A = this chain, B = another copy of it.
Amino acid sequence: EINSKRLHQRFYQMAEIGKTEKKGVSRLALTKEDRVGRELFIKWLKKLKLNIRVDDFGNIFARKEGSNPSLPPVVFGSHLDSVPNGGKFDGTLGVLAAVEVVETICENNIQHDFPLEIVMFTNEEGARYTQPMLGSGAITGVLQKEYVYQLKDDNGIAFIDALKEIGYLGNQENRVSKVKAFIELHIEQGPVLFDKGATIGIVKGIQGISWQKVTFAGQADHAGPTPMAQRKDAFVSAIKAMDKIHRWVSKLKDETSVTFGKCSVSPNVVNVVPGQVTFTVDLRHPNKKILNQRVDKVKEIILTIASHTETEEQIEEISFMEPVLFSERLVKEIENICDENGYSYHAMFSGAGHDAMYMNRLGETVMIFVPSVDGKSHCEEEESLWKDIYQGTDLLFQLVCKEIGA
């Protein structure tokens, strides 16, 4: 039996770190807040006498051996970083539930064959370093080490420098390279479970995600005496492109989603016609082929606008994350546990990317969702109900026990 009270207490202890005015969390990757969060996490791991390691991307692993150390480990966990003014459940829940599961196993002296490992991944959000699931992407061979180390945040600070700064640059041999199973408990971050009134989301896979960075370059000029017809206004090009893309996606009425989350206007002065504008396009679809078609159409719209407005466009792919399908066996295992325990569930796809998306490459993978109140996430209003969280954590506990051969 997991200790709900302990989980609850730890959760609110962690929620203090980077707490915002409206009780959300700003704990961006590799900041001081991230470091303090890691320290608290490690304090708990040490009490459990786990074997702690940090890899060359700051991912933290905590291992407990089973009877056969040569077997691949069962790995579970999530991330502790947040978006700015984000919620306290996103990522954190999966990490703290993992700690609770292992503490329950230790306390009850549960014997097992397979090693188990708790994991906390670095920069999952892609908020500070614009590459989501960076830590898991790096150790699974999706992202190159040189590329990751040189990534810059908005203030020009390289990933490697920020990692060293908080003291979490570990060794390459500390990565995990093969898993018996990877299991991630997470909040849904969307409205499906909450609307259905289900407690558990059994995640069958994750939709594909494309991130692109678009730049329009025109000509900075004076907003007063420069006739509208003679301008090369980079912001007008960007506005026209975003409006057109948004209209087109809205008309599709399918599962495609598009978001322009980030934008910077230069020189960003009231009376200067913008000379350069950069914005991001987050495009999603569950089907890889269709997602690719959507990406192509976005590019086409941008090229057309650029030629009509006589501005120069540049499109840079930040990331293309193919849709993934999780282990059917693990999905079935979860269904069984839910049925046995009378947990209401719904099998679904994830709209958000998660470290499980990349960990899937190292072995059988699955995710467990608990509902997000009103579907809200990546905001301070993010909320999940504790009755759901306890069931989700218990489900994680039971699945882990099965997988480690307890």
Q: Is residue A274 contacting chain B, with contact meaning CB distance below 8 A? A: yes
Report copies per complex.
2
Q: Are A257 and B379 in contact (CB under 8 A)?
A: no
Could you give, for residues 205-238 of chain A, a 1 whenever the CB lies within 8 Å of some chain B CB and a 0 otherwise? 0010101000000011111111110100101100
* Residues of B contacting A275 in the complex (Cβ-Cβ under 8 angstroms): 379
CA distance A226 to B350 in the complex (A): 11
Partner of A271, one of B126, B192, B233, B267: B126
Q: Are A260 and B272 in contact (CB under 8 A)?
A: no
Interface centre among A127, A188, A221, A375 (most CB of B within 10 A): A221
Q: Is residue A36 contacting chain B, with contact meaning CB distance below 8 A? A: no
CB contacts under 8 Å to B, within A234-268, are 235-236, 239-240, 242-243, 246, 249-250, 257-265, 267-268
CA distance A100 to B289 in the complex (A): 69
Q: Are A223 and B375 in contact (CB under 8 A)?
A: no
Q: Are B270 and A227 in contact (CB under 8 A)?
A: no
Q: Is residue A191 contacting chain B, with contact meaning CB distance below 8 A? A: yes
Could you give, for residues 120-159 of chain A, a 1 whenever the CB lies within 8 Å of some chain B CB and a 0 otherwise? 0000011100101000000000000000000000000000
Q: Are A230 and B375 in contact (CB under 8 A)?
A: yes
* Residues of B contacting A267 in the complex (Cβ-Cβ under 8 angstroms): 83-85, 127
| 26 A-B contacts (beta carbon < 8 Å) | A83-B267, A125-B269, A127-B267, A130-B270, A132-B270, A132-B271, A190-B226, A191-B225, A207-B224, A219-B376, A219-B379, A221-B378, A222-B378, A223-B257, A224-B350, A225-B352, A226-B257, A227-B257, A228-B249, A235-B263, A239-B246, A259-B270, A259-B273, A262-B269, A271-B282, A275-B379
Not counting A235-B242, A239-B260, a sample of 6 additional A-B residue pairs whose C-beta atoms are within 8 angstroms of each other reads: A83-B269, A219-B381, A235-B263, A260-B274, A261-B265, A271-B378
